[in-house]
Chain A
Amino acid sequence: MTSQVKTRRRPVAVDPVPWWLKVFGGLVVAFFILPTLFVIPMSFSSATTFQFPPPGFSWRLYENFFTNPVWLDSLGNSFLVASLTALLATTVGTAAAVALSRLDGKAARFARTVLMVPIVAPSIVVAVAVYISFLGWRLTGTVGGYVLAHTAIAVPYVLVSVTGALGGFDQRLLKASASLGASPLRSFVRVTMPLISRGILTGAIFAFIVSFDEVVIALFLRSPLFQTMPVQMYNSVTVEIDPTISAASSLMVLAVTIIFILPQLLRGRAGRRQERRP
């Protein structure tokens, strides 16, 4: 009986990946990164118009970018809005996730669904709704307006990642913490937060990038005095044909990539530090 089971067991080695799956995987990867592969060489082009392949190498587009206050301001604005959005959305999303993890029943499910709506609602619908209400509240063209609107669409991402982290969190630790004299707030700070920090960090990064990339709402909210980088990029191809956009795009790709990779590097170091402990 046992020997039969043994012989029937599948080989320990991983099944070989069939060739068609490799090809398909390659195509998917290419589909995602090809645009970037075109943009980056073009950002070093010496031409004054869009040309591929670039006729020669030059830093001129980057020079344009870093000497033109319109580009630089929009980059600064984007960082400001995205940072504040990340802060606010992470706070709100984490609070919501923690609260919802303790509740169950219809009301909690309903609240969760409502919070997720911004992910599935078409951006243009959200943008128009935001625009109309913010006009009335005089929030268009203000940092606060951008941050509020972006927070609304970023909260679901935080909610999802923190809820995931809370899945592995032992709620009984909070009972222990309370019995040891910690108020609910202190317990959150000293026990819950450190143990779900990965989820919070991931949520914050997503919130940052959602805001950093966001263009539809930003187009509606823009004012001559305040625009974000994606809006300026949009202007640069629709209003004027400015090849500086390829430098701007490359910088965006670089920024987003760094932001994604950074916590992994940090985590790797922290993980190793943990392991070295006796």
Chain B
Amino acid sequence: MTRQTTVEATGSRLGTGLGTEIRLEGVTKDYGLAAPAVDDISLTIEPGEFMTLLGPSGSGKTTTLNLIAGFETLTEGTISLDGADVSAVPPHRRNLGMLFQNYALFPHMTVAQNVAYPLRERKVPKPEIARKVAEVLELVQLTGRDDTHPSRLSGGQQQRVALARAIVFEPKALLLDEPLGALDRNLRAALQTEIRRIHREVGSTFVFVTHDQEEAMNLADRIALFNNGRIEQVGTPQQLYAAPETLFTARFLGDSNVFELGAVGTGGTVAWEGESWGVDPETVAAHPGVRAAGAIVVRPEDVEVAGSRDAVPVGANAVRASVRDVEYMGSYRTLLLTVGERGLLGRARVSALRGEYAIGDEVVLWWRPRAQRIVAA
């Protein structure tokens, strides 16, 4: 009864514009293996936010999503939706939509029947079901395919049907577990755009799992970066890229030149292989581990290449390198470099207008202390 009134109250528009807050506190899942799959994570996902759980394979993203959905039971901690603890609520009563990598469409039902499934479970009246199904199929641009069976659709179309099915009942939030993982590159890009658009139109909270950093950067309002069952860092894509706290974050998002330092003093300079480099205190990560063991991270686009030390401006940090390879990328080129005495691999992105470099050229890399970041190693 109550459900029915809710459905009617929201009127004809799909989505209410009101997302749900998802709060994880001290969430732990231990399968009894060497280490817990999810280890004491706390994360608050804001109402209507597009949150991406990013991380390498086996880092606990799917487990976290399954804990939110209720498919796994918590070993420790609490999960609450809009402040209500749902730890004891079975998945079918959590009212959360879910999207899977393999689509998980019901093969014995047509597109329309698949999409109507959650509405029928909620005993929505027939005419209302028909209207909502038509509306949501229009939203995912599949109008007219109502009577098709899923096996007759392409992967991208199947995932659109699954998306329609997962949002048609106006769930509190949508959980997506690598939904584009099985699609080819172009289709992925198209569906990413579409998922963003639908997120905007529906206005509900999205939690999107992926191991693809580019996808996470494209989609997310915020990224929670997972590593070994823990959250390494949470922030906007720009924050994670520009101000990583740890070496793991710096390496996972984008390319970087990494100079490992050992202990970082509180002085104005650090030393690396005999070079002495200036430090801008604002670029030192707040991470507590940074003083014990730090590393300097410089993005390839922040590195300049000079022919000799004389050409390096005063106050810049510099290091000797030799060109190992040149990758031509249209308007710019990426130099692959051998840096320092131990032959570290480095990268610099230079404009195509800045002259030619040949393999074996001896150069000097330099960057402003402001452009570097000192992170916990």
Contacts and interface: CB of A to CB of B under 8 A. Distances in A.
Contact of B92 (A170, A181, A195): A181
Interface string B60-75: 0000000001110000
A29 B152 CA distance: 42
A179 B147 contact: no
B149 A180 contact: no
A277 B147 CA distance: 8
Contacts of A278: 147-148, 152
Contact of B71 (A173, A175, A181): A175
B224 to A, nearest CB: 21
Contacts of A182: 92, 117, 121
Most interface-central of A172, A176, A184, A277 (chain B CB within 10 A): A176
Interface string A178-199: 1111111011001100110000
Interface string B166-210: 100100000100000000000000000000000000000000000
B208 to A, nearest CB: 15
Contact of B96 (A176, A179, A190): A179
Nearest to B113: A190
A170 B104 contact: yes
B118 interface: yes
A108 to B, nearest CB: 19
B104 A178 contact: no
Interface majority SS (helix, strand, loop, mixed), chain A: helix
B121 A176 contact: no
A112 B165 CA distance: 37
B98 A175 contact: yes
Contacts of B117: 177, 180, 182, 190
B95 interface: yes
Interface in B98-152: 98, 100, 102, 104-108, 117-118, 121-122, 147-149, 152
Contact of B104 (A175, A181, A194, A277): A175
A32 B117 CA distance: 49
A173 B95 CA distance: 17
B97 interface: yes
Nearest to B121: A181
A183 B92 CA distance: 6
A180 B108 contact: no
A180 B121 contact: yes
B191 to A, nearest CB: 18
A277 B70 CA distance: 37
A8 to B, nearest CB: 34
Most interface-central of A176, A179, A181, A191 (chain B CB within 10 A): A179
Nearest to B175: A179
Contact of B169 (A173, A181, A194): A181
B270 to A, nearest CB: 50
A174 to B, nearest CB: 9
A180 B169 contact: yes
B235 interface: no
A151 B84 CA distance: 48
B104 to A, nearest CB: 4
Contacts of B100: 172, 175-176
Nearest to A194: B108
B56 interface: no
A194 B114 CA distance: 14
A221 B243 CA distance: 83
Contacts of B148: 278
A179 B121 contact: no
Given A175-B71, A278-B148, A186 B102 contact: no
Contact of A173 (B96, B106, B147): B106
Contact of B98 (A176, A183, A187, A277): A176
Interface in A159-181: 170, 172-173, 175-181
Contacts of A176: 98, 100, 104-106, 162
B24 to A, nearest CB: 18
A185 B118 CA distance: 15
B102 A178 contact: no
B118 A180 contact: yes
A122 B118 CA distance: 50
B26 interface: no
Contacts of B118: 180-181
Interface string A29-51: 00000000000000000000000
A179 B69 contact: yes
Most interface-central of B98, B104, B117 (chain A CB within 10 A): B104
A191 B106 contact: yes
Contacts of B92: 177-184, 187
B262 interface: no
Contact of A179 (B97, B107, B149): B97
A173 B91 contact: no
Nearest to A179: B98
B42 to A, nearest CB: 24
Contacts of A194: 108
Given A175-B91, A176-B104, A178-B90, 14 more contacts: A170-B102, A175-B71, A175-B104, A176-B98, A176-B100, A179-B96, A180-B92, A180-B97, A180-B165, A180-B166, A181-B95, A181-B122, A183-B92, A278-B152
14 contacts: A172-B102, A173-B106, A175-B71, A175-B98, A175-B104, A178-B70, A179-B91, A179-B96, A179-B166, A180-B121, A181-B93, A182-B121, A186-B121, A194-B108
